[in-house]
Amino acid sequence: MDYELIRSNRRTLALEVTREGRVVLRAPYRATQAQIDAFFTGRRQWLEESLAKVQAHRAAYPEPDAIQAARLKAQALAILPERVAYYGRRMGLNPTAITITGAKTRFGSCSSQGHIAFSWRLMQYPPEAVDYVVVHELAHLVHHNHSGAFYSLVASVLPDHAQRAALLRY
Segment 74-89, tens digit of pLDDT = 999 999 999 999 999 9
Angstrom distances, CA of residue 86 to CA of 89, 118, 163, 165, 168: 5, 16, 21, 19, 21
**Which band of pLDDT confidence, cut at 50, 70 and 90, is reported for residue 60?**
confident
pLDDT digits (tens, 9 = 90+) for 95-133: 999 999 999 889 999 999 999 999 999 999 999 999 999
pLDDT of residue 169: 80
**Which band of pLDDT confidence, cut at 50, 70 and 90, is reported for residue 170?**
low
pLDDT of residue 20: 85
Share of the chain above pLDDT 70, in %: 99
Mean residue pLDDT of the chain comes to 95
φ and ψ at residue 42, rounded to 5 degrees: -70, -20
pLDDT > 90? residue 160: yes
CA angle centred on 77, ends 84 and 110, rounded to 5°: 45
Check if the beta carbon of residue 144 is closer than 8 Å to that of residue 116. no
Domains, the chain, ordered by start:
4-60 (no CATH), 66-166 (3.30.2010.10)
Q: What is the pTM of this model?
A: 0.80
